[in-house]
Amino acid sequence: MAIREIRTEGDEVLRKVCKPVEKMTPSLKELIGDMYDTLYDADGVGLAAPQVGIRKRIVVIDVGDGHQYTLINPVIVSQEGSQTGEEGCLSVPNKAGVVTRPQKVTVRALDADMKEFTLTGEDLLARAICHETDHLDGILYVDKVEGKLIDLEQPEDEEDGEGKE
């Protein structure tokens, strides 16, 4: 497996609608493995294929609950409630913003063996499912931010003249 370059805001692939996966191939299995490697290397929660330059409807998610979720051709079939909170994105580095998402979502997708399944997620998992499936339609969380983006980079410490290494 390998770590792939994460595309950042301004890259046109992030604004394109992705194509459905018709069949699993060795190169797509490799892509999924690479997406997990890339996700963990970047200390993220979710990653969509367009974020590594591939216009396919594939998402990987790990919210730290002991499960890895691979969603191929995901479709959100129901949503309930709402939650408002801060989000970030590996494709918009060092920024965050407040976004309202459903509190609970159910998604129908295919797994890496192309078997259909249904997943219901709440809280962070619901947020991640919505965030990552948006990527598949060329939508970035910055399109949904309420108010302004927050800059997460630490400013240099002006008092003692020392900056971050």
Q: Point out the catalytic residue in the list 22, 132, 156, 165.
A: 132
Please choose, from the candidates 138, 114, 89, 104, the residue with its C-alpha nearest in 3D space to the C-alpha of residue 28: 114
CB-based contacts of 96: which residues, under 8 Å, 6+ apart?
86, 87, 88, 149, 150, 152
Catalytic, 156? Answer: no
The answer to whether 59 and 137 are in contact (CB under 8 A) is: no
**Pairwise CA distance, residues 13 & 71, whole Å:** 19
**Enzyme catalytic residues:** 132
